[in-house]
Structure 1
Amino acid sequence: MRVIDSSVVNDEYKENYVNSYFEDLNLSTQEPDWSQMIICAMEFHDFSDCKSLLEMMEDFVFNYKHELEGKFEEMLTWCINVMEGNY
């Protein structure tokens, strides 16, 4: 009689299930945006949830500081041109 370790069977099942789930999503052609997935899944139940969102926003601004500065300058240029009637 052979004894099967149920944890091994369960782990294999979980791994196969998770792998097939993500394969069905067809994410292999694109890089998943984990930050966006986390933000979409966020729920607010206490202050620490709010703090987490603020920390993520801070990280985003820090990581994309130069790009945001450039876009901000583009926005200001557009606003000035609109106010001067150039658009």
Structure 2
Amino acid sequence: MADVATVVLTGIGLFFFLAGTAGLMRFPDTFSRLHALTKADNLGLGFIALGVAFQAATWREVALLALIWALALLAAGTVSQLVARAALGEEETR
């Protein structure tokens, strides 16, 4: 049962990563690309971490996966904010 959950959840995570990549390549402006990539990658990593958690041997490993995901969420939000501000500043100087 855990193997099935792992395959399904990591497959969903892969789908979100692919959707984010497609958004990065297809959307016309920086802000749309940034939104698509950040949201999709956060969900993709969450599903993959949840899928891997089913294979974890201890609760400590599950907690580490959750911590990694939480840190990635914080980093993605911070980086996307910085990129958006830089793009907005560049757009205003034109």
Q: Please tell me whether Structure 1 or Structure 2 has the larger radius of gyration of its CA atoms.
A: 1
User: Does TM-score exceed 0.5, indicating one fold?
Assistant: no
User: Taking CA–CA contacts closer than 8 Å with sequence separation of 6 or more, which of the two structures ends up with the larger relative contact order?
Assistant: 2
| Greater share of residues in helix | 2
Q: Compute the TM-score of the two structures, normalised by the length of structure 1.
A: 0.33
